[in-house]
Structures are given as structure tokens and as C-alpha cells.
Amino acid sequence: MLSATPEFDLLSLAMDAADEAVDVDQAAGVRSRRFSEDSAATSCGTLSPSSSPAPLSVVPLPLSLELPTPRRDEDALALRRKRNREAMRRTRQRERETIASLRQTVTRLETQYATLTATWNGPAVAPDGAGAQLAAFDATLERRAQLRDLEARLQQLVQLRRELEAENAATKELLAAKHAQLQTLQAALDEYQLDDMVQEKLALLEEEAAQSARKITAQLASSPGFVALSPLQTQSLLTAFCDELERIKALRWPTPSPSTLPRPPAGAPPYAPRTFESAQLLVFDVFGWHTRRHINPATNEMHFEISKVFPVSADEMTERSWTSSLDLEAFRRKGHEMRIRRLERLQVVSDNVLVLVREIEHPVDPTVVFRTHFLAFRMRRGDTWVIGQQSINPVAPQPPETAPTAERVVWVDVFAGVEVRPLDEATCEVRWRGRTNYKSLQHAAENAVRFLTSVVRWEADLMGPLFRLLSS
């Protein structure tokens, strides 16, 4: 650490003494030269006649030659001394200023060092007044940080204002252009009035549209316990479906095992049935469909997922699937295969949302009918199309039929979704996901086989038969 000592004063005194010594030496040298010249002149003038000096040749000097005189030497010497003194004085002045600046720097550094030492060691070892300086320093830093935050927010507000002004100007220009077009169109309509024939055609088209709407409404079936859905209820059901789909995706699917069985040892039966717990881990590849299942014994629910890649664009595959799901006549023609007794529309919410009712006969007991009210819809999430079915069965139990031949209705919950994800422009991946209540082990196996058969039949309807038998 630098400290202020009296060494700087001693240094300045030494430099002054050195300057005075230089002046004294120069004066002594001048006096010695002057004394030697006077001595030489005196010796030349006092020579005795008996010394018989050698004859000297006298060289005439020009009258215009000016010889240096002692007076001129003294003036030059005094001038040089004066210059030297001024130069030394300026040098000493600069050195004094430098020394004063260094002293101020040392004092400031000592103060900063004391403040930092107090900050590092804590307030217990801080010198007198260091706490106040530290508090002032912290307050200054805090104010600077607040100023920086305010400047950043101000810059953001200025940028937002510029963007809003640009958007406002663009909107005004667009509105002005639309207004000009509207005025032009209105002027054209005012100039050319529609004739009576055009008015009659427009009225006829409106009547046809109204009749078509009434026809569709008349075709809608009715079912006990069904209440028409409002747009808000429909949106709530779609949101719940998407949440359930994400939950199924996030399930911890068990690690699959190969579906092929090892060769039995000699003397053992050719096939040993697997247990239900080990069978759920199997992964099958049937006609290119990759299948896997997740079973929750606590709730008797089985989640399934099957996927396959098709050489068709995602939009085309979605359109084919949605059109096929709306073709109720085709389902009625094939109803005997799936034991479908009834499949009708209950409500048309929009072009992409329908409410249907489906009744399926029990495979063993003809007096039992499985009935389902479900929402069929099509929606897009990002770049993936989703076609789903969500049951909306009545919550309150319906009163039983009193007729002797009445059938017993069992309400069945349905949750199934088809995701069509594009892989490239000409390829997509179709992934079926769903959930079913398997009741018992036999029901679980039957549901799995029935669903897989339905998917293969769905593929044959959309893409054509998988195999073609050639005539021999």
C-alpha cells in the first residue's frame, strides 16, 4: 500500500541544492579562466631584458577584427545562467505539481482501501465514518441500478410505441383502402340496379338453403337421455379430450418383450399360455401396425396405442378418414359384422363436430344392447390432425323399460383418437390411442382383438385391400 512520507520534501530539497552547486561550479570555472588569462598577460609584460627572447614575427591584424572582451564573456555567461535557472525552476515546479498529485492519489487510495477493508471485514472492524460512507456507496449503487432498469423499461416502451404507431398507420391505410373499395362497389350497385329475375334467383337459393337445413334437422334422430350441446359445452368437451390424450401419452408404458415365443424343450407341450400380466407386455406387429398396451388393474382400464406409416400426405389421410367416419350408410351396410343395430346423428354442432348414437348387440345375450352417445370431431393441433370420439352418456340412470320384451340397455364409455402426423410432404404417421374398461380378462382380450380388427378394416376401406388374390 502506498503511504505519504516526507521523502518527497527531502527529494525536492536535494534537487535545489544540486542546482545551486552547478551554479557555484560554473562561476568558479569562469573565475579560474579569467585569472589564468590575467596571469599570462602579466608574465608576458614583466619579462627581463636579459632573458633575450627570440625575435617574433609581427603579423598585422585587420582593423575590422573584433576580439572578444571579458565584458562580453560575462554577459553571455550571465545569460546562460539565467536560462539555466529558468529551466531548473520550471522543472522543479513540474516536479512539485507531480508530487502534489501523487500525494492526492495516495490519500484517495488509502480512503478507498479503508472502505473496502471495512466492507470485507464487516461493520465491527470498520473505522470511524466508514459505515456512513459504505451506506452512501450502497445507496448510490442502488440508485444506479434503478436508473438502468428505468432506462431499459423506457427503451422498451419507446420501441412498443413505435411498433404500435407503425401498426396503427398500416391499419389506417388498410381501412382507407377498404373504404374506397366499398364506395366504389356502392356506386356500382347504385348505378346498376338488380333486375327482378336476379332477385327471384336469390330468393330461390335462400329457400333451398332453408329447406336443406330443415331436412337435416328432420333427419336427426332422438335418443332417451340426450340433451343438445351448446357451443360452450362442446368446447369444454374438446378441451377435456385433449387433456386426456396428453395424459395417455405421458403414461409409463411397460418395457415390451418380443412377441415370438422360444421353441419349447423336448417333451414339453408345444405351447404354454402366457399369464395376463406377461401378455400385456407383448408388442405385436400386425400388417404393419405396431401395437402396445397399458393395463391398470386398480381401475380395470386398458390403454392401447397402435401406429403405422402411410405413403399419403397428412391432409389427404385426414380428409379420407373424416369422410369415411361420416358415411353412416357404409357403417349400416357393414353393421352385421360389428353387430351394429343403430348409428344415427343426434346433433350437428358444426361441420367438424357431430353427436351420434350407436347401439351394438351383445355377442351372447340378445336382450342386452350396448348404447353410446358420443361426440365425433375433427381438429388441428399444430401440424397434427386429430379425429376423436368422446362419449357423452347421461349421468343420471334412465328408468328401465316396463314392456315384457324390453331390452336391457348398458351404457358404454368410448374414448378413441386418431392422430395424423406429417413426416414429409408425401408421408404421414397414423397413431390410434384409446381407453376401454375390460371388466374381466376375457372382455379385455375380446376388446383388443375387436379393436385391432376394426383398425385393419378401417385401413382397407381407406387405402384399399392389403392383399389381392390372383386368379390361377
109 versus 469: the higher-pLDDT residue is: 109
At residue 215, the pLDDT reads 60
At residue 208, the pLDDT reads 76
- pLDDT digits 0-9 by tens, 43-57: 444 444 444 444 444
Query: Which pairs with CB-CB distance under 8 Å and at least 24 residues apart come from 411-415?
Result: 411/370, 411/371, 411/372, 412/360, 412/370, 412/371, 412/372, 413/372, 413/437, 414/372, 414/374, 414/389, 414/390, 415/241, 415/244, 415/389, 415/390, 415/391
Most confident among 190-194, 314-318, 397-401, 408-412 (mean pLDDT): 314-318
Closest CA to 421 of 324, 309, 322: 309
Query: Which ranges in 122-192 belong to alpha helices (H)?
Result: 130-191
What is the rounded average pLDDT of the residues 135-161? 88
- pLDDT digits 0-9 by tens, 243-300: 888 888 887 766 555 444 445 556 555 544 555 555 555 556 777 888 877 777 777 7
What is the rounded average pLDDT of the residues 140-164? 89
Q: First vs last Cα of the chain: how many Å apart?
A: 107
pLDDT at residue 221 tops 50: yes
336 versus 155: the higher-pLDDT residue is: 155
